[in-house]
Amino acid sequence: MREWKTFSPADIPCLRVLGRTTDVRSPLTLFWTASGIELNVKASELRVLIEADYGNFEPWLDILIDGARTQRLMLQKGKQEICVFRMMDPSVTRHVLILRDTPAMPKDDQTLLQIHGISTDGSFEELPSRDMKIEFIGDSITSGEGGCGAVGEMTWNSGCFDCVDNYTFMTARELNAEYHVLSQSGYGIFCDWRGWTGGAMPLYYTQVCGLAHGSRNEALGAGTDWDFSAWQPDVILVNLGTNDDGSFTFAGQWINGNEFLDPMRLNPDGTPNAEDLGHVEDAAVNFLKLLRAKNPEAQILWVYGMVGSRMMPTLVRAMERYLADSGDTRAELMPLADTLPGEFGSRQHPGYPAHAKTAAAIAERIRTLRLLNA
């Protein structure tokens, strides 16, 4: 009879935490989508004790064994033990990946997913380091919105996301990379899809998870400064601009609390107003400066174009200004192929084929850049 033991995440030396979080490991809080843990284990059975909570938007969980997703499930409120695998040949070492498959949910102060313990009858084995580190920064596309659900489904809820059938996961797998994802549906460079300037990803870049609100998230450290020295990416991939584009065609003035927002304006001929485009351009330049300030050695790759390309000239100007001003030689813009008919998932967002082709293109470019910069 094999011995059954339970471990805190803090007590497993070869466990790797994925995604930005605080130093606390007991329990370990998972704020962002695609955050979680990975470990190598030699056992017949493995269980994970998690705790979940939510107001409206429940967290979902993915379990992958040796790279194959075996379970994907909606979590209930409270503590619950999930069986990762059982009745397995215990003489084989398997790689286990457990991921939060739900974004940070700024609209739900109750959102919570924590790992309290890992139980097994086996042993944890060494976990080799990956070949590189990538930080992805994006919006709904990067969150995998539309990755789950039927093509015609239009409801926005926790179930419409997928962080595995997702270009972030696929790119990292292709490059054997450890990665973080910072992404939020609707958010942009300068403003969100309705023109709200609070919905700009750069505002939250220096915090652990500044998007997560409410007293519990605050107490858990979501708003504290992220320690950039602890995890320096080799590549920063920014995929923003699609919601800034959308803000120009948002119909009607939007009220944030008691405030009326200044909408992004269209010219009479239907093109975006130049002054408002300037705001986006400035925000992009400033974000590039911030990224470089915090990550002196990283290759910066700004990608854009999976859902329309109207912001491309603005991004070209921003990148040119940034490169000229800074003298930086390790930042560039990369256009992505548009999502074509047949490549969509639910919610009129990029589906599996669109994510797959995007991942292939990005992985090829990163491989090239690393070769040239080697």
Residues that bind a second copy (CB under 8 A): 56-58, 65-68, 70-74, 76, 83, 85-89, 92, 148-155, 157-159, 312, 316, 319-320, 332-335, 337, 346, 361, 364, 367-368, 371-372, 374
Residue 312 or 356: the one with the smaller Cβ distance to a second copy is 312
- SS3 state of residue 18: strand
Nearest-approach distance from CB 197 to a second copy, in angstroms: 28
Residue 17 or 65: the one with the smaller Cβ distance to a second copy is 65
Residue 11 or 153: the one with the smaller Cβ distance to a second copy is 153
Integer Cα distance of 354 and 213 in angstroms: 32
Nearest-approach distance from CB 75 to a second copy, in angstroms: 9
Integer Cα distance of 185 and 192 in angstroms: 9
Residue 203 or 312: the one with the smaller Cβ distance to a second copy is 312
Is 161 exposed, middle or buried (CB count within 10 Å of its CB: 0-12, 13-18, 19+)?
A: buried
Amino acid at 290: L
Nearest-approach distance from CB 291 to a second copy, in angstroms: 18
Residue partners of 157: CB distance under 8 A and separation at least 6: 57
Nearest-approach distance from CB 284 to a second copy, in angstroms: 14
Residue 134 or 148: the one with the smaller Cβ distance to a second copy is 148
The size of the chain, in residues, is: 374
Residue partners of 329: CB distance under 8 A and separation at least 6: 323
Amino acid at 301: L
Residue 128 or 198: the one with the smaller Cβ distance to a second copy is 128
Residue 53 or 195: the one with the smaller Cβ distance to a second copy is 53
Nearest-approach distance from CB 94 to a second copy, in angstroms: 8
Sign of CA dihedral 188, 191, 192, 198: positive
Nearest-approach distance from CB 323 to a second copy, in angstroms: 9
Q: Identify the CA nearest to 335 among candidates 360, 353, 309, 354.
A: 309
Nearest-approach distance from CB 82 to a second copy, in angstroms: 8
Integer Cα distance of 353 and 339 in angstroms: 9
Nearest-approach distance from CB 87 to a second copy, in angstroms: 4
Q: Identify the CA nearest to 350 among candidates 306, 309, 308, 311.
A: 306
Secondary structure letter of residue 149 according to DSSP: S
Nearest-approach distance from CB 261 to a second copy, in angstroms: 26
Residue 61 or 208: the one with the smaller Cβ distance to a second copy is 61
Residue 19 or 149: the one with the smaller Cβ distance to a second copy is 149
Contact 20, 180 (CB under 8 A): yes
Buried b or exposed e, range 267-285, using 16+ CB within 10 angstroms: eeeeebeeebbebbbebbb
Integer Cα distance of 273 and 278 in angstroms: 9
Integer Cα distance of 240 and 305 in angstroms: 9
**3-state SS record for 221-253:** CCCCECCHHHCCCCEEEEECCHHHHHHCCCCCC
Integer Cα distance of 177 and 130 in angstroms: 5
